[in-house]
């Protein structure tokens, strides 16, 4: 007579956030019920991005995205609100449609984006930039932020953060759902090239009193802009393995400077 199969005992697994790799507690600990045993691996735990979760795939998006054949008709066009008439325009609705393809699913559902900051509309003040973004975030804590820059060559590029952009001196913030991007074309021909998190580090955003920056590592910033929004630079960063955002397509530059002619920040949901 066959012996009954023993009932499987569940194993409770706890872990700390994968975005704080500097934490001394950043290891998996496994407790086996009915015992006093806790299994603690030796050495640091380096998490792999969870497969299937939006923005957490440890892979890059190949090529340009956002041509009309890729856009979801059932979404409807993206509506941009909050920009005063006569304000210098950086983001247009066709570029927004191309970028929207890459948002996390919950953000992608919203077809209305709200202007939080415009260099032309609000002036070249980093303190105003932080204040306006924070004021909106208090009422809409789950809104993502999309920052877009236009340089002296009319090239457009920027960063998406799945949270509000905030000043935290000396500390990186953000999550693996963030990405850098560049835009090509205008109007109906607008396309986006997106550089998602590589998983190599957690240097997503470092925003202080004197500058804003996104994508770090090896002493480089994927995107850096000074406190008066005049000068900026872009370099290939380990965080996103991005191209130099302000360089022309096909360039082999590893770093370049640019003059900031326009800058906007949009909330991608309410």
Give the pLDDT confidence of 169-226 residue by residue, as tens digits: 999 999 999 999 999 987 778 899 999 999 999 999 999 999 999 999 999 999 999 9
Q: Is residue 170 part of a domain?
A: yes
Q: How much is the pTM? A: 0.75
Q: Are residues 124 and 167 in the same domain?
A: yes
> What is the pLDDT at residue 67?
52
Could you tell me if 18 and 100 lie in one domain? no
- Average pLDDT on 36-40 reads 37
**Which structural domain range is residue 115 located in?**
68-267
Query: Left, alpha or beta for 130 (phi > 0: left; psi -120 to 50: alpha)?
Result: alpha
Nearest to 35 by CA among 9, 5, 16, 6: 9
Residues 7 and 139 in one domain: no
Which region among 5-14, 128-137, 179-188, 244-253 has the lowest average model confidence (pLDDT)?
5-14
Query: Same domain for 220 and 255?
Result: yes
pLDDT tens, residue by residue, 98-112 = 999 999 988 888 889
Instruction: Provide the mean pLDDT of the chain.
Output: 80
DSSP alpha helix (H) spans, the chain: 93-100, 105-108, 119-122, 126-139
Q: Are residues 91 and 174 in the same domain?
A: yes
Same domain for 160 and 235, yes or no, is: yes
pLDDT surpassing 50 at residue 27:
no
- Kindly state whether residues 112 and 6 are assigned to the same domain: no
Strands (E), the chain: 12-14, 29-31, 38-39, 79-81, 112-118, 145-151, 156-161, 179-184, 191-196, 205-207, 211-217, 220-226, 231-235, 255-267
The span from the CA of 80 to the CA of 78, in Å, is: 7
Asked if 37 and 80 sit in the same domain, the reply is no
Distance between CA atoms of 45 and 63, rounded to whole angstroms?
Answer: 32
Q: What pLDDT was estimated at residue 253?
A: 92
Residue with tokens 């920009």: 83
* Shared domain check, 178 and 251: yes
Does the residue 56 lie in any domain? no
Give a yes or no: residue 55 inside a domain: no
Given a cut of 50, whether residue 7 has pLDDT beyond it is: no
Residue carrying structure tokens 């009915």: 34
Average pLDDT over residues 244-253: 93
Q: 156 and 75 in one domain?
A: yes
Task: Kindly state the average pLDDT of the residues 75-98.
Answer: 91
State whether 145 and 225 are in the same domain: yes
């Amino acid at each position: 007579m066959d012996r009954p199969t023993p009932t499987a005992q569940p194993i409770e697994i706890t872990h700390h956030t994968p975005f704080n790799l500097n934490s001394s507690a950043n290891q998996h600990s496994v407790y086996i019920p009915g015992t006093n045993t806790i299994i603690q691996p030796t050495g640091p735990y380096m998490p792999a991005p969870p497969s299937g979760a939006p923005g957490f795939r440890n892979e890059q998006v190949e090529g340009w995205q956002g041509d009309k054949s890729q856009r979801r008709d059932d979404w409807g066009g993206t509506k941009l609100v909050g920009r005063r008439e006569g304000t210098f325009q950086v983001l247009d609705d066709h570029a927004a449609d191309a970028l929207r393809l890459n948002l996390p699913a919950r953000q992608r559902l919203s077809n209305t984006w709200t202007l939080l900051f415009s260099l032309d509309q609000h002036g070249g003040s980093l303190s105003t930039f932080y204040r306006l973004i924070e004021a909106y975030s208090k009422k809409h804590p789950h809104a993502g932020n999309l920052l877009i820059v236009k340089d002296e060559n009319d090239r457009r590029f920027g960063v998406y953060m799945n949270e509000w952009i905030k000043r935290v001196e000396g500390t990186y913030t953000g999550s693996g759902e963030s990405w850098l991007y560049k835009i090509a074309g205008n109007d109906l021909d607008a396309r986006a090239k997106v550089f998602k998190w590589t998983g190599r580090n957690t240097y997503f955003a470092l925003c202080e009193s004197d500058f804003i920056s996104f994508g770090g590592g090896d002493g480089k910033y994927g995107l850096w802009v000074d406190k008066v929004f005049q000068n900026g630079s872009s370099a290939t960063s380990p965080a996103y393995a991005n191209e130099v955002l302000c360089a022309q397509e096909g360039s082999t530059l590893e770093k370049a400077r640019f003059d900031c002619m326009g800058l906007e920040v949009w909330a991608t949901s309410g």
